Structure 1
Amino acid sequence: MASASICPVYNPSHLDTQRFWDRELVRERPAIDVPVGLPKNIASPLAWKGADIASKEPEWKLDLTDEEVVMVEKALLGFEFKFQDLSKLSASTFELPTEFSQRLRKLSDQLYNGVGFQIIHGLDPTKYTARQNMIMYAGISAHICPQRGFVDVFGKAVIAHIVNVQASKDDPKSTAPAFTNVPLSFHTDNCEIMAFFYLDTALEGGQTVLSSIWQTYNELAAERPDVLHTLTQPWVLDTFKPVSLQPPRHVRPLQRVDSDKLPILFRFSRYPITGFQRGRNPELPEPTTAQQEAADCIQFRAAKNSITLPVVKGDILLVNDMALFHAREAFDDGGIPMKRHLVKMYMRDPEQGWEIPLSIMENEWKTSYTPNQPDGTRVETWDVAYKPGIEELSMLNG
């Protein structure tokens, strides 16, 4: 039986939220310090509250001018004329005028040293084919973060389609929360820079929500250092996949990193703890009460400090996945199968990226950013359009 002090379900209710904060109001601060080697506070522009940055849109949104959209279309045509293989996409093959390219390149500074996310607004995906949309998406992104990552468990695909696969009676009834229309709890994807291209948005709801990991850490360090101790211990996370495809993950959600730029490595998802439509593997050890309580502390604090993004159809969003949690509102597609359609990619900027020892990175990160061929090269698969079943190959699903 679940403890009365925890919320055992993936999607907490408003009542669960109120109960959590009622308990926190009367809780005494534990008489312990943060774990040895971890900071007591992280002072950084990446440690923010949503209420403080909501009015600072110029820091996190770039509106493309009509002239720049024309430049993007010329770069698209130029790439199509010279190349068939989409893996050839780069800043040099998706040719933009120098001034515009530099304007995009500067967005990397905001991703790694500013607020940690950027919205690029101004494209209309209805004007282009599915393949052309992918070329523009990856081409623009390459001017910001030159390196692409793999998004599937095999380390082959560079595109993931985020759609509600339960949109009709014939679609699967058991899946991960990312591929339904329910709210997504706050989580990370174990990549460096995560990107979404909003091919279409929902009829109602479905907005992306962000929250600072480092702000959550600071609050836990000040008020709940016991939770930080729990997070530095080993956890067993279910992947809800066959062991041959993706075995359970043995991780420490919070780790120290010997880096001037990255004070902590904090990776988290509520889904492997609570399950969703698929329950946790009964052969795995059950999450402890302390782990479930830690999951609640992360969820409710992240929600308190979050910002709901004003993204619309055609927007590109880039998020520093090592500094920000992301979540999603519930949505209604109005009976239109898979109307809301996001395309996810993993990226990084080798020049700006934080140096992280591979020894402490989870297998998903290594699979994303290291070569997938014995000779040290990379071969990429581009699923330009959604195909039923490919969602099951995503590394992490909410």
Structure 2
Amino acid sequence: MNKIVQRQLRTETATWTAASLAELKSQWESHFTLAELAELRQAVETAKKNGLTVGTMTKDSFLLPTLGKRMAALGQLLEDGLGIALMRGIPVNDYQKNELELLFAGLGVHLGVLLPQSKAGEKIGVVADSGNKLASGARGTKTSDQLPFHTDRSDLIGLLCVREATKGGESYVVSATQVYNIILRDRPDLLEVLCQPFWHRRTAWEAGGPDTAYPLPIFGEREGKFAVRYLRHFIRVAQELPSVPRLTDQQIEALDMVDRLCMSEECLVRMPFEPGDIQWLNNFVAFHGRAAYEDENADKEDKGRFLYRLWLASPLSRPLPDGFEAIYGRTEPGVIRGGALPAETIQII
């Protein structure tokens, strides 16, 4: 049995329950004002006029004199506050596809640097059903399956809803520090297991290739800052590699407890997406997932559930624990890290 280390309850603002987050709704949910929407429209038109693309967008080239100040405050909320935000009211039907991509990327660069989401290097991802299934090895963003709780490989993630599903597809969010605290209270032995490395396998869509694996803890801390990295699928498929040690019964029990708590009434926040909603999350303090969904018109052009996704490296980011460099590349605060490609390949215009 692992030696139990004396660990302390997490008390940061990002530690919330489903009930307490509902009471704080005015702090994390907001609507764009008419003046802000007009400013966004002007910024998009200027970006088009200047020939900007998602890949060449910067904060200085997508000027938001008023809204930019709110985005700066949002960055602080995501790093030092609740770790979650919902901005509502983008008139998505008033924009062409390329305009909407410019708009979302433009908001994103006011929070950080856009990161590549696959080896192809795209900096704005599409979340839509391609008819494949997780069981067949498809990437979760391309299926209509329920997505288990996980974190993405970036400081921040943004999701813009363009079209909602006919049925289902609601977003799930959970405070990772709240889950940590419950495990500390009820099963400190399992918490200690979760603070030790688990072997993860790389995927076909990231740098490094699917035949390599790396050790990474689920929970960690550095300089008083908490961090979580969780995607159980990568742990499960690592077991297919002969060189990877087999999971112990205690490791499996610990992972099962994380999954169970994430779906508990105490922890789980269900957040339906509506067109024009943007959800922002700090990947180091919040788990997210998704309910399965159905689309009656998914086989028709420009129909069916459709979201855009951003991965962002934040200049306000926290230091990361030992071991996290295996996937994020660098662990110092405020640096460009994460994404599907090494940080040195990311071009900053």
**Fold match by TM threshold 0.5:** yes
Question: 1:270, CA displacement in angstroms?
Answer: 2.2
Q: Does structure 1 residue 303 correspond to structure 2 residue 303?
A: no
* Unpaired runs of at least 5, structure 2: 331-335
Which of the numbers 105, 116, 128 marks the counterpart of 1:138?
105
Unaligned runs of at least 5 residues, structure 1: 1-29, 381-398
Name the structure 1 match of 2:128: 163
Contact 2:117 2:339 (8 Å CA) reproduced: no
Cα separation, partners in 2 of 1:265 and 1:55, compared to 1, 3 Å: closer
For residue 239 of structure 1, report the CA deviation from its aligned partner: 4.0
Counterpart of 1:46 in structure 2 is: 14
Matched with 1:215 is 178
Supply the AA of the counterpart residue of 2:251: Q
% identical equivalent positions:
20
Residue 58 in 1 paired to residue 17 in 2?
A: no
Please report how far the alpha carbon of residue 266 of structure 1 lies from its aligned counterpart in structure 2 after TM superposition.
2.1
Measure, in 2, the Cα distance between the counterparts of 1:166 and 1:157: 21
2:306 to 332, 338, 341: 341
Structure 1 residue aligned with 2:333:
none
Asked if the contact 1:35–1:228 (Cα under 8 Å) also holds between the matched residues in 2, the reply is: no
Q: Is the aligned partner of 1:238 residue 2:204?
A: no
Counterpart Cα distance in 2 of 1:233 and 1:86: 38
Kindly state the Cα deviation for residue 222 of structure 1 after the two structures are TM-superposed.
Answer: 1.1
Query: Structure 1, residues 224-270: CA drift from partner, whole Å, max 9, x if none?
Result: 1111222233322234549963444322323543323x1x3321122
Alignment of 1:355 with 2:323, yes or no, is: no
TM-score by length of 1: 0.75
CA distance in 2, matches of 1:79, 1:192: 26
RMSD of aligned Cα (Å): 3.2
| Count of aligned positions | 337
Is residue 71 of structure 1 aligned with residue 39 of structure 2? yes
Q: CA, structure 1 residues 177+141, in 2 after alignment: closer, same or farther (shift >3 Å)?
A: closer
2:223 aligned residue: 259
Q: Distance in 2 between matches of 1:174 and 1:223?
A: 35
Taking the aligned partners of 1:336 and 1:147, their CA distance within structure 2 comes to: 32
**How far apart in 2 are the matches of 1:267 and 1:370?**
12
Partners of 1:238 and 1:248 within 8 A in 2: yes
Does structure 2 retain, via aligned residues, the 8 Å contact 1:119–1:311? Answer: no
2:291 is the counterpart of 1:329: yes
Is the alpha carbon distance of 1:48 and 1:244 closer, same or farther for their aligned partners in structure 2, counting shifts above 3 Å?
closer
Instruction: State the distance in 2 between where 1:371 and 1:333 align.
Output: 30
CA distance in 1, matches of 2:92, 2:131: 24
The residue that corresponds to 1:250 in the other structure is 214
User: Quick check: 1:153–1:246 contact (8 Å CA) kept in 2?
Assistant: no
Q: Deviations over 1:69-124 (max 9, x none)?
A: 11100110011112334333122211122x33212211112111221111111112
| 2:165 aligned residue | 202
**Is 1:34–1:221's contact at 8 Å kept on the other side of the alignment?**
no
Q: Which residue of 2 aligns with 1:186?
A: 149
2:61 matches 1:93: yes
Which residue does the alignment assign to 1:123? Answer: 90
Distance 1:187 1:256, change over 3 A: closer
Q: Deviation string for 1:35-82 (max 9, x for gaps)?
A: 36xx32111111110111113221111200122211100110011112
**Matched residues in 2 for 1:96 and 1:151: separation?**
26
TM superposition shift of 1:377: 6.7
Partner SS for 2:60: coil
The answer to which structure has the higher strand fraction is: 2
- The normalised TM-score by structure 2 is 0.85
CA contact (8 A) 2:216 2:324 kept: no
Could you say which residue in structure 2 is the equivalent of 1:111? 78
Residue 52 of structure 2 aligns to a residue whose secondary structure is: coil
Task: Kindly indicate whether the alpha-carbon contact (under 8 Å) linking 2:55 and 2:123 is maintained by their aligned counterparts in 1.
Answer: no
Between the aligned partners of 2:251 and 2:119, the Cα distance in structure 1 is 26
**C-alpha separation in 2, matches of 1:328 and 1:258:** 30
Structure 1 range deviating more: 337-346 or 307-316: 337-346
SS of equivalent to 1:197? strand
- Give distance in 2, aligned partners of 1:70 and 1:146: 23
